[in-house]
Amino acid sequence: MNNEFNLNHLYFLMQGVGWTVILSLMAFAGGGLLGFGVALARISRSRTLRWLALAYVQLVQGTPLLILMFLSYFGLSIMGLSLPAIVAAGLSMTIYVSAYIGEIWRGCIEAVPKTQWEAAECLALTRTQRLFMVILPQALRIATPPTVGFMVQIVKNTSLASVVGFVELARAGQIINNSLFEPFVVYMLVAGLYFLLCFPLSWWARKLENRLLAGRKPEPELKKGIGNVQYCES
């Protein structure tokens, strides 16, 4: 019997960290791509498209991620696809991220002053040109701090992938705890590792936000407007 916490356990946890990072990156890439589409659809000129995107966002934001995990896990399996857990986890994370990040980015696009649209129109740019050459570059600057802030949410929420049997950091902790039965030590260690992943991102997000707002400190209203996006966390 080997009932002490040793290097092998630490190695197993570090593997968990690796999978957490991989799943986070997958979720960010997939969710970012889909979320960009959601953001564009939300400001589209087509009423149907706007309405569909809104319904999608409301649907996803009104359902817990845990339930999304179960749905994609069992949903994929009844389609006769026997896929590894990472696909189910990646799919539900992608859907989850797209709904939240789509809304964040829509807010950032709408935060660009309307006069910019009008000025670009005066220069005879088409709508696509206006969007991609004038509005989005400016929105990108506004969007960076809340996006980095949201990445913290992504990393934390990958812990829910443990319910579909994907062995990331939280699941690795559970497995080790099942063999050692030292929950306090193990979960504190797991929490510490999550903190090491998340805190630099939080810190970076705050720094970016302060830099963005550097010239406009006396206006608390503005800070609130951008901050709101970041506060909606789970």
Q: Which is nearer to other proteins, 16 or 90 (CB)?
A: 16
- The tokens for 113 are 């002053």
Cα maximum dimension of the chain: 77
Using alpha carbons only, what angle is made at residue 121 by residues 120 and 127, rounded to the nearest 5 degrees? 95
Q: Which is nearer to other proteins, 95 or 120 (CB)?
A: 95
Q: Which is nearer to other proteins, 38 or 168 (CB)?
A: 168
Long-range contacts of 112-119 (CB under 8 A, 24+ apart): 112/138, 112/139, 112/142
* Least spacing, CB of residue 107 vs other proteins, in Å: 12
In the chain, the amino acid numbered 95 is I
* Least spacing, CB of residue 91 vs other proteins, in Å: 14
Q: Which is nearer to other proteins, 15 or 129 (CB)?
A: 15
What does the binding site for other proteins look like in residue numbers (CB under 8 A)?
59, 61-68, 70-71, 74-75, 78-80, 152, 156-157, 159-160, 162-163, 170, 173-174, 177, 181-184, 187-188, 190-191, 194-195, 198-199, 202, 220-221, 223-224, 227-228, 231-234
* Least spacing, CB of residue 129 vs other proteins, in Å: 34
Listed in sequence order, the residues at least 6 apart from 3 whose beta carbon sits closer than 8 Å to its beta carbon are: 180
Q: Which is nearer to other proteins, 15 or 44 (CB)?
A: 15
* Least spacing, CB of residue 231 vs other proteins, in Å: 5
* Least spacing, CB of residue 37 vs other proteins, in Å: 22
Q: Which is nearer to other proteins, 99 or 134 (CB)?
A: 99
Listed in sequence order, the residues at least 6 apart from 79 whose beta carbon sits closer than 8 Å to its beta carbon are: none
* Least spacing, CB of residue 33 vs other proteins, in Å: 24
